[in-house]
Amino acid sequence: MQTPVNPFKKALADKRTQYGLWSSMLGPIPTEICAAAGFDWLLLDGEHSPNSPYNLLQQAQLLAGYPGTHAIARIPMGHGWVGQALIKQVLDVGIQTVLVPMVDTAEQARELVRCMRYPPQGIRGMAGVRASAWGRNPNYAREANREVCLLVQAETRAAIDNLDAIAAVDGVDGVFIGPADLSAAFDHVGDPWHPEMLQIHEDAFRRIQAAGKAVGILTLEEERARRHVEMGATFIAVGTDTNLLVKGSNALAKAFKGTAAAAKGNY
């Protein structure tokens, strides 16, 4: 039995753009519907959705039936003992790629790298779990460090100030620009595409790319998403499951009733 190659990590290394969708509706049915659409990756959100490690396990099992769609789990926090425990649980259920929000310093990024890896490179605990086929893969602990993928979010003033150092950390595979939180940090709440923010995004893209790391971002607008790809985004979320449901249900209600509740996204 072999440790699965992480296709998402390989695609980032090959600089092949990976198109994804934010999945916040916990699953299993919405997750499977989105996986069957053919996205390269689904972000299973545990920061702003009540996804637990158990929910993530169920969705990982479901996504195994769609090998062309890679599961990425976002944990609610990555710092301290809580972050260490959450990363351990996510990796143990067999999810190879983790997105960590609010990473502000290189020191935090280095600690996250340690949490992702088995000794001697890190502090991940050993166990016979789903990731190792419950111990049936005797080589897993020797091979897993090679296949795990760490993505960190830059979404504060401190993160932008420290971006070069964060992106330079060995073991950080990609940096994701969080447009909504970042705009709030720069006093543009609800306006992530303010002209000042666009300049900050472009500068951040250049700095991350200069460090040789992958750049990610989320937008709900097709034209803007294509612009980000032109700028060099190699993993980009082009929508969210909740927004798709909002737009579809609004359009249907309007078609029959003439009105629909307004909904303004943050992206």
Question: 119 φ, ψ to 5°?
Answer: -60, 150
Query: How many residues are given for the chain?
Result: 267
Catalytic site includes residue 70? no
Catalytic residue from among 48, 70, 79, 188: 48
Q: Is 135 left (phi over 0), alpha (psi -120 to 50) or beta?
A: left
Alpha-carbon span 252 to 23, nearest angstrom: 22
**Token couple for 23:** 């999945």
Alpha-carbon span 177 to 123, nearest angstrom: 27
Burial label for 262, CB within 10 Å (0-12, 13-18, 19+), is exposed
Query: In this structure, which amino acid lies at residue 258?
Result: G
- Which of these, 18, 9, 20, 205, lies nearest to 98 by C-alpha position? 9
Strand partners, 97: 72, 149
Question: 231 φ, ψ to 5°?
Answer: -75, -15
CA dihedral 259, 263, 264, 267 (to 10 degrees): -130
Place of tokens 């990363």: 87
Residues taking part in catalysis: 48
